Amino acid sequence: MIETIRDAYGSIFEKSLVDEISEVAKLIEFKEGDILIDLGNYIKSMPLLINGAIKIMREDLDTGELLLYFIEKGDTCAMTLTCCIGDQKSKIRAVAETDGLVAMIPIVKMEDWLGKYKSWRTFVFTSYNNRLNEMLAAIDNVAFRRMDKRLYNYLKEMGKITNSKIVSKTHQEIAYELHSSRVVISRLLKTLEIDGKVKLNRHNIELIS
Amino acid sequence: MIETIRDAYGSIFEKSLVDEISEVAKLIEFKEGDILIDLGNYIKSMPLLINGAIKIMREDLDTGELLLYFIEKGDTCAMTLTCCIGDQKSKIRAVAETDGLVAMIPIVKMEDWLGKYKSWRTFVFTSYNNRLNEMLAAIDNVAFRRMDKRLYNYLKEMGKITNSKIVSKTHQEIAYELHSSRVVISRLLKTLEIDGKVKLNRHNIELIS
DNA sequence: CTTACTCTGTAACAATTGTTACCGCAGCTT
DNA sequence: AAGCTGCGGTAACAATTGTTACAGAGTAAG
């Protein structure tokens, strides 16, 4: 177990911190599609992602949901910290985009280490910064870009996350994540295909570099 | 000077921290409309707002700008911390919404105190949390709400910030902040007036409770 | 093979928002 | 008084996005 943690985090934390993490962390495997955190959940421990990818969604009661950003190996979710520390309900939903593995840290330890290890502070702050920047990017998308561009960005990002040219999603699923409707997505995908940017198959979309 | 700091922050920081702050902080007055931080600025110190209100805007090169949120007394801007710590250019613009006063803290001290004072850590984290929550609210607005509702929320928020029923803005200014166009805002304001929710005057808008 | 179901394509239409253009009013300058 | 400028009202139109409806193709189950 210390091996997996050292693999993912050995380069940014000093040895004594890696040891401490290994002592208290609980490793949890997850499968694609698992809902790791749902709206309204109280979070009692902090996740360190070892591998896999997790998508973070915002949901509005009436009007559906919206993909905010992805979390990948070697990162944590600052939105979770928000909840941990503030003892608030989660305002987001975390869903596994791929299979993966996560280490859960008790909050108490997390706060201990803030006073104790500079590398831990840096890590936590870096994570907050990444999250804020990703939120800004999400805002840019919904505020400044039209759906065709958002869709294309989304497809490219999905390709990066899964490290593949094939995006295995139905039009309906994409519509949910971009907070649009299936018909609109089908329409725009068709024009992307006509422009030679993608190839549409049943159940998946192929990115043409 | 220690008086003003104690006034604004004495209730959340221990005395020794307030003293330290008073030693190193530089007080800076600002006037409504001052641009405190602009896109691309490097930030070398951390602002603690003593009084007044600051609006944080996101700008897109081609397509204009968007109001993200306000900062008020007793708070700091985590987006600034992002820049300080990551040594990155600012991705936002901070503009004084009212006259006010801010205490600037050198980054070195700010990092010192993280290890030294638990109350400081709590403060910084709380600020991050507030910012993340406000970013979420901003996303909710642009992603889930239509312009008429966004406009009404905006007016109410402006009323709260300035503690008044009168919002002294032109339609054009509002259009900038909501990333819309003047004609659209005029149109929607007119329907708000017909619905009896506001009264339109020249150069200002009156909220009818 | 038949049936049922999901996924995709398409058309027609509605709603919202953005754009352009023009007009009148208030306030200011000359 | 005349002219200028910025602000706000309105109309007409365009573009984007959302909605409803329906049809055909693929797939899985019986």
CA-nearest residue to A115 within chain B is B115
Residue bearing tokens 């940014």: A12
Spell out the domain ranges in chain A: 2-143, 146-207
Residues of A in contact with B82 (CB under 8 A): 128-129, 132-133
Q: Note the pLDDT of residue B6.
A: 92
Inter-chain residue contact B132 with A136, CB threshold 8 Å: no
Q: What is the CATH number of domain B2-143?
A: 2.60.120.10
Q: DSSP characters for A132-176?
A: HHHHHHHHHHHHH--HHHHHHHHHHHHHHHHTSSEE---HHHHHH
What is the architecture of the domain spanning B145-207?
A: Orthogonal Bundle (1.10)
Partners of A155 in the β-ladder: none
The yes-or-no verdict on residue A171 having pLDDT over 90 is: yes
The yes-or-no verdict on residue A60 having pLDDT over 90 is: no
Residue B145 contacts residue B154 (beta carbons within 8 Å): no
In the DSSP assignment, the letter for residue A76 is B
Q: What is the CATH number of domain A146-207?
A: 1.10.10.10
Rounded, the Å distance between the CA of B65 and C1' of C11 is 37
Alpha-carbon distance of A92 to A197, in angstroms, equals 32
Q: Is the CB of B109 under 7 A from strand D?
A: no
Tally of CA atoms within 13 A in the half-sphere of B115 that contains its CB: 10
The yes-or-no verdict on residue A125 having pLDDT over 90 is: no
| Tokens (6 digits) for B5 | 């700091």
What's this model's pTM, rounded to 2 decimal places? 0.93
| Tokens (6 digits) for A142 | 């919904």
- Pick from A63, A67, A107, A132 the residue to mutate for testing the B interface (most B CBs within 10 Å): A132
Q: Which nucleotide is nearest to B178 (CA to C1')?
A: C17
Residues of A with CB under 8 A from a CB of B: 58, 60, 63-64, 66, 68, 78-79, 81-82, 85-86, 91-92, 114-115, 118, 121-122, 125-126, 128-129, 131-133, 135-136, 138-140, 142-144, 179
Partners of A67 in the β-ladder: A57
Alpha-carbon distance of A67 to A179, in angstroms, equals 8
Q: Note the pLDDT of residue A79.
A: 83
User: For residue B113, what are the CA distances in angstroms to A82, B3, B27?
Assistant: 20, 21, 19
Alpha-carbon distance of A55 to A69, in angstroms, equals 6
Mean pLDDT, residues B43-47 taken together: 90
